[in-house]
């Protein structure tokens, strides 16, 4: 069977085929960048219009109570929880992923007094290691990058926590979360998982693997919109013992008592700092509801089929690109990354022709397969166009080599 016929057959058999209608997507675009910015759910614009004109415009400050704005971080967190294998009171939606990493690094350090090393991987998403470096500059931590495997071999009695991204942003490679968590904990340290590239697209079972802490982006597979609030997970067993270093009033036990002394709120609420961004949380809730309605098992199963089909089609059609994502579906996230020396120009040429992926330095072409709205026909269209652009050297134009501020 040709790849075109196979794509048609797979689309016909796809139980999530109609889910694309839950999103607003331009007709002339094949969107393979939901791992960077998820698409706009159809439910979001009317919800935001209501929050703005109804709840804000008419309800004014009364909406903190009447529209339950004050509970939105916990409410959205509780909806994210089942998508990542957590209980509702273990997750809260707040701040950015970077800020939440900082808070959890400090929490881990307070849980492991006498240990100050944070282990991460070289090549981890930069914000994760920069946050460790920020703490190190204050004299509060020491960074150790694990140059080799297994990571647990880099954990000794000085290590408070290991900070890892579950699905690597460049390659899409998944860590074995259960095995790494157990091995690190056996050496007395804690693990902070960054789920930015896995939440909403792959199966996760934080409670099942006895995870300690996790964070993740709201604007990728959760479709919360540009700069959406992130989420933060703290296993119930740690919640009473951790401190939030950004001890703002929203994490206080009684914010409206206006007391001078900080008293942390019980449970996950102590991880809040300032006033929740209601517009962003409302949009994130629409994205999370959309994912939850489709169900992670169905999304994850389609993601594996999509990436498998794309990789086979690439191997059969574009021999000059090297695939750097894992060949086996088990350790592969919902993206496929390809290596080519002209990756940047190729990426620009593809975008010019309606196929939106992205580029990561120095030579990676990255394609995200958000199973909710990407079809097998889309995957095949991207492969055909990529082959055409490479074979005809259509990318070889000065305007495609000019670097934009955001890649």
Ligand X SMILES: Nc1c(O)cccc1C(=O)C[C@H](N)C(=O)O
Ligand Y SMILES: Cc1ncc(COP(=O)(O)O)c(C=O)c1O
Contacts with ligand X, residue ranges (CB under 6 A): 36, 169, 406
Stretch binding ligand Y (CB under 6 A), from 92-100, 129-137, 232-240, 337-345: 92-100
With 0-12 CB in 10 A as exposed, 13-18 as middle and 19+ as buried, what is 187? middle
* Tokens matching residue 286: 């629409």
Say whether residue 127 binds ligand Y (CB under 6 A).
yes
**392: how many CB neighbours lie within 10 A of its CB?**
10
| 127 annotated to bind ligand | yes
| 58 annotated to bind ligand | no
* Tokens matching residue 360: 């990561």
Per the annotation, the verdict on 50 as an active-site residue is: no
Q: What is the pairing mode between strands 230-234 and 213-216?
A: antiparallel
Count H helices and E strands in the chain, helices first: 13, 15
Q: Which does 337 bind (CB under 5 to 8 A by kind): ligand Y, ligand X, none?
A: none
Q: Considering the candidates 220, 270, 302, 332, report the single residue annotated as catalytic.
A: 220
* Tokens matching residue 177: 């979360």
**What single-letter DSSP state applies at residue 266?**
S
* Tokens matching residue 301: 């199963």
Q: How far is the CB of 220 from ligand X (least distance, A)?
A: 7
Of the candidates 307, 365, 362, 366, the residue with the CA atom closest to the CA atom of residue 332: 307
Q: How far is the CB of 378 from ligand X (least distance, A)?
A: 20
| 380 annotated to bind ligand | no
Say whether residue 273 binds ligand Y (CB under 6 A).
no
Q: In the range 97-126, which residues lie near ligand Y by CB under 6 A? A: 97-98, 125
| 98 annotated to bind ligand | yes
Q: Which does 98 bind (CB under 5 to 8 A by kind): ligand X, ligand Y, none?
A: ligand Y
Say whether residue 373 binds ligand Y (CB under 6 A).
no
| 221 annotated to bind ligand | no
Contact 228, 284 (CB under 8 A): yes
| 197 annotated to bind ligand | yes
* Tokens matching residue 137: 């500059």
Q: How far is the CB of 126 from ligand X (least distance, A)?
A: 9
Contact 281, 72 (CB under 8 A): yes
Cβ distance to ligand X smaller for residue 111 or 215: 215
Report d(CA 365, CA 341) in Å as an integer.
Answer: 10
Cβ distance to ligand X smaller for residue 169 or 213: 169
| 395 annotated to bind ligand | no
Report d(CA 56, CA 69) in Å as an integer.
Answer: 10
Nearest residue by C-beta to ligand X?
Answer: 169
Cβ distance to ligand Y smaller for residue 22 or 347: 347
Cβ distance to ligand Y smaller for residue 145 or 298: 145
For the chain, give the number of residues. 407
Per the annotation, the verdict on 102 as an active-site residue is: no
Residue carrying structure tokens 């140059």: 147
Contacts of 7 (CB under 8 A, 6+ apart): 309, 313, 375, 376, 377, 379, 380
Report d(CA 57, CA 51) in Å as an integer.
Answer: 8
Contacts with ligand Y, residue ranges (CB under 6 A): 96-98, 125, 127-128, 165, 169, 194, 196-197, 217, 230
- Residues forming the annotated binding site? 97-98, 125-128, 165, 194, 197, 219, 249, 275
Which residues belong to the active site? 125, 194, 219-220, 366
- Residues forming the annotated binding site for pyridoxal 5'-phosphate? 97-98, 125-128, 165, 194, 197, 219, 249, 275
């Amino acid at each position: 069977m040709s790849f075109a016929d196979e794509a048609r057959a797979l689309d016909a058999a796809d139980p999530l085929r109609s889910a694309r209608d839950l999103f607003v997507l331009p007709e002339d675009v094949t969107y393979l960048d939901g791992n960077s910015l998820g698409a706009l759910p159809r439910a979001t614009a009317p919800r935001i219009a209501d929050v703005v004109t109804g709840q804000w415009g008419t309800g004014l400050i009364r909406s903190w109570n009447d529209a339950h704005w004050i509970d939105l971080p916990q409410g959205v967190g509780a909806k994210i929880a089942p998508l990542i294998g957590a209980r509702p009171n273990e997750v809260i939606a707040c701040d950015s992923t970077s800020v939440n990493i900082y808070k959890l690094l400090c929490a881990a350090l307070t849980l492991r007094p006498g240990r100050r090393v944070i282990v991460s991987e070289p090549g981890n998403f930069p914000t994760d290691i920069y946050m460790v470096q920020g703490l190190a500059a204050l004299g509060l931590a020491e960074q150790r990058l694990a140059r080799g495997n297994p990571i647990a071999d880099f954990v000794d009695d000085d290590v408070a926590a290991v900070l890892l991204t579950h699905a690597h942003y460049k390659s899409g490679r998944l860590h074995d979360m259960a095995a790494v968590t157990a091995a690190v904990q056996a050496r007395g340290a804690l693990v902070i998982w960054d789920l930015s590239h896995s939440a909403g697209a792959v199966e996760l079972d934080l409670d099942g693997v006895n995870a300690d802490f996790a964070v993740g982006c709201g604007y990728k597979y959760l479709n919360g919109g540009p700069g959406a609030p992130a989420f933060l997970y703290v296993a119930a067993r740690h919640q009473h013992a951790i401190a939030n270093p950004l001890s703002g009033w929203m994490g206080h036990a009684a914010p409206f008592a206006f007391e001078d002394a900080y008293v942390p709120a019980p449970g996950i609420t102590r991880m809040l700092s300032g006033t929740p961004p209601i517009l962003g949380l409302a949009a994130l809730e629409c994205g999370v509801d959309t994912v939850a309605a489709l169900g992670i098992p169905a999304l994850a199963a389609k993601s594996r089929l999509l990436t498998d089909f794309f990789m086979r089609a690439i191997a059969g059609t574009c021999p000059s690109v090297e695939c750097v994502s894992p060949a086996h579906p088990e350790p592969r996230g919902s993206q496929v990354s390809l290596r080519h020396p002209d990756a940047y120009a190729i990426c620009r040429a593809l975008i010019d022709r309606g196929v939106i992926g992205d580029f990561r330095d120095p030579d990676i072409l990255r394609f995200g397969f958000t199973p909710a709205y990407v079809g097998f026909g889309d995957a095949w269209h991207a492969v055909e166009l990529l082959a055409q652009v490479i074979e005809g050297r259509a990318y070889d134009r000065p305007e495609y080599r000019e670097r934009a501020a955001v890649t």
